[in-house]
Each structure stands twice: as C-alpha cells, then as structure tokens.
Structure 1
Amino acid sequence: MTAEVGLRERKKAATRAALAGAANRLAVELGVEHVTVEAIAAAADVSPRTFHNYFSSREEAIVASIIDWAERLTDEIEARPADEPIWDSLLAVFLGSVEDGAAAHARMMAQIEMVLAHPSVIANQLAALDTMRRRFAEVVAVRTGTDTSRDLYPHLIAGGAGLAFKTAVDIWAAGPPERSLHELVADGFAQIRNGLPQPGR
C-alpha cells in the first residue's frame, strides 16, 4: 500500500510539474494573452479537466514553478547539518539553485518581461512568493527553535533571504551583468547578515 501511495504521489507531482512547465513555456513563447487552458493541457498531454485538478487558472499554473522551487529549497535546507548557521544553510541552497551565463540570463529576462507585461500574472507571482516566504519561515523556525506564531525572527530571516535573492536577480537580469548572479546573491546575503552597514562614500 505504501509503495502504491508513493507511486501515485510521484505521478501527481510529475503531472503538476508538466502542466506548470508547459504553462510557463507557452506564456514566454506566445504571450500570456494567447495561452489557453486547453493549450497548456495539450502541451502536457492531459485533459483540460485534469488541468483544473491542479490549478484554478492559467496564471496560477504559469507561476507554479516558484512554489515548486521553494519546496525543493526547503527540503534542501532541512537536509543541511543541524548545527550549521541558518544563513550558511540558506546561502548554500540558494546558490545551488541558480544558473549563471548568457543562456540563463536570456531565460530570466524573458521570464521577467512576461510577468511584468501582465498584472494578473504579477498578482499570482506575489501570492506564490508569499507562500514561499511562509514555507521558509517554518523551516527556519524548526532549525532555530523559534515559533512562527509568536516570533519575528523566522519571518524576518525568511523575508530577508527572499528579498536579497530577488534583488540580486533583478539587478542581474537588468544587465548586461557586471557581476555573476552567484556573486550578487552572495553579496546580498552578506550585507543583510551583517546588518546592512552603510557603504562608504
């Protein structure tokens, strides 16, 4: 029974990932306004009814990869050594999740342009990012012995890490990049970790 449940969950996860990937790819290639649920379902080789078992709208599917990415990162954070400082754990998993180089830069530019062109996608992206922040806060709370229901600390760490990462990506994507994305992310984490000291003039 356990094996059957595990197989079923893996198939569901694979279907969700296929739908999310198809939705995002079509949105970048065609523009969100030209993407339909039927087209996404066809690209993932499932029915529109199956699509609605996973997502309520095309916009939700387009940004679903953010939540999936956050889940992978939280799993990796949980797997880090228990005695490792939380900022070291966060930096390691964030750096391990990004790509540098011209091809990665072009993909990121296309993603950002697609999102910014459609307010409905922006709204769904913000919701996905907030879900990611809350999930990170839960992991930070477990690692640091804090409580998300009463302590600011896990929320501030999760929010700070997410903001540092997003800011680094935004600067890198605005290009042409003078520094690699890895360098920018590491710098952002270091500045927040050090209390954001004011730069010298």
Structure 2
Amino acid sequence: MGLRERKKSETRAALSWAALRLAVERGLDNVRVEDIADAAGVSPRTFNNYFSSKGEAIATHHLDRCLRIAAALRERPAEPLWDAITRAALPQFASPAGAGAPHASDPAKWTAGARMMLAQPALHGELLRAGARAEAEIAAAVADRTGTDLERDLYPHLVASAVMAAINTAMAHHLRGDPPVPADRLLADALVGLAAGLPAP
C-alpha cells in the first residue's frame, strides 16, 4: 500500500472510530457530522468524501474489523480451518471497539452507550450491508483455504455465515451481560462450538 492509500485508510478509520465513540458517548441523535469530522481532525467535506451518513461511518468500524479477519485468515499457515478462523478472529475483539482502538475509561458506561446506539433503527440497515460484505470476503478466504469453489460450493458460504453469526451473537451477549463477559472470550466459545459441529470437507 502506497503512502496516499495508507493516509486515506487512516483517515477513513479515524472517522469511523470517531463516529462510533461519539455515538456511544452522546447517543446517535446527538452527534453531527461536524462533530465527527472535528474529532478526527478533518473537515465535514472530507467526512462526506468517505461516508454518506453517520450510520455508514459507524457500521464501517464493524466492517473493517471483519475484513481484517478475512485478511488474517488468508495469511494463516496450514492448520485446521477452525483453528485458523479462531486465531484470525479473536485479536479483532480484544476490546469493545476492536483491536487497536483505545479502551473506554469506563467500560460499564461504554457498554450502556453501545446498547443504546445499537438500538437505533437508523443503524440496522447499514450494519446488515456491512455484514453481508464481510461475509462475502470471509467466504472467499475460506474457499481459498479449503480448495472449494465460491460459485459452486455451499461450504465456504456456510462457514462464513456461521462465523458472522458467531460474531453477532457474541457481541449481543457481551452487551447483555451485567457485568459484560469479554467479547473475545464469548467469540472463542462460539467458534469452538461451531468447530465441533461443522467439520471441514
């Protein structure tokens, strides 16, 4: 990746993280595009060059985290499929906001804010779109590892759908907990369960 592409990727990630953080802290309806741009150190016009809405910016954080799983899965050495998936996925869920993101100073407040934010109908469509794109990338990575055909075979799509279901279920259970169980621990349990019942072809 060249310098220009890297800077664009960093700006996109900074805007997405700022949108997520502010929506959790203030509530989605209390965050303006200008606030997100200011928090990321760019202009509102720059925000609009990357995203069409606050919801898209927030959903992109989830999308990028899942796309990193697909990329990491492609880089894993030869090993059983579900071991590779688990080792690719867990680092992305080591904190409420994902690997590399600043930890919330008050985890309970973060969790409460995330619950409220995710209850907003305005986010649901964006999260579904992000999940569908991530699932397609994970399916392609699974097909490469298993020698299956992405067009003809059900298996890579079934595995990718199961991985996304595990992620979504683990995150929902994490947010329901009082106190929350760490998301990476829940995801590890979910993937172990899937591995036991969905063997490689």
Aligned residues: 190
Structure 2: gaps of 5 or more residues:
97-103
Quote the offset at 1:187 in angstroms: 2.4
Structure-to-structure mapping, 1:73-112, within 5 angstroms: 73-81=69-77, 83-99=78-94, 107-112=110-115
Q: Could you tell me which residue of structure 2 aligns to residue 144 of structure 1?
A: 146
Instruction: Give the distance between the partners of 1:144 and 1:27, measured in 2 at CA.
Output: 40
3-state SS in 2 of match to 1:76: helix
1:1-201 matched pairs, under 5 angstroms: 6-81=2-77, 83-99=78-94, 107-116=110-119, 118-176=120-178, 180-195=182-197
Q: Is the 8 A contact 2:24 2:110 kept in 1?
A: no
Whole-angstrom distance in 2 between the partners of 1:105 and 1:99: 16
Alpha carbons of structure 1 residues 105 and 173: separation in structure 2 relative to 1, 3 Å: farther
How far 1:178 sits from its partner (Å)?
Answer: 8.4
How far 1:107 sits from its partner (Å)?
3.2
- Residues in 1 aligned to 2:45 and 2:131: alpha-carbon distance in whole angstroms: 27
* TM-score, structure 1 as length reference: 0.84
4+ residue stretches of structure 1 with deviation over 3 A?
100-109, 177-183
> Larger deviation: 136-145 or 38-47?
38-47
| Structure 1 residues 143 and 6: alpha-carbon distance in aligned structure 2, compared to 1, 3 A threshold | same
**Structure 1 residues 78 and 41, CA gap change in structure 2 (3 angstroms):** same
- What corresponds to 1:199 in structure 2? none
Pick closer, same or farther for the CA change 1:33–1:172 going to 2, 3 Å.
closer
Paired residue secondary structure (2:197)? coil
Normalising to structure 2: TM-score of the pair?
A: 0.84
- Taking the aligned partners of 2:138 and 2:43, their CA distance within structure 1 comes to 33
Assess if the C-alpha contact under 8 Å between 1:78 and 1:139 holds in 2: yes
Q: CA RMSD in A?
A: 2.3
State the 1:6 CA deviation.
0.3
Instruction: State the Cα distance separating 1:100 from its structure 2 match.
Output: 6.4
Larger Rg: 1
Aligned-partner SS, 2:153: coil
Q: Is the 8 A contact 1:59 1:124 kept in 2?
A: yes
Checking the alignment, whether the CA contact within 8 Å between 2:114 and 2:175 is kept in structure 1 is no
Instruction: Provide the C-alpha distance between the structure 2 equivalents of 1:109 and 1:191, rounded to a whole number of angstroms.
Output: 28
- Work out whether residues 135 and 164 of structure 2, in 8 Å CA contact, stay in contact via their aligned partners in 1: yes
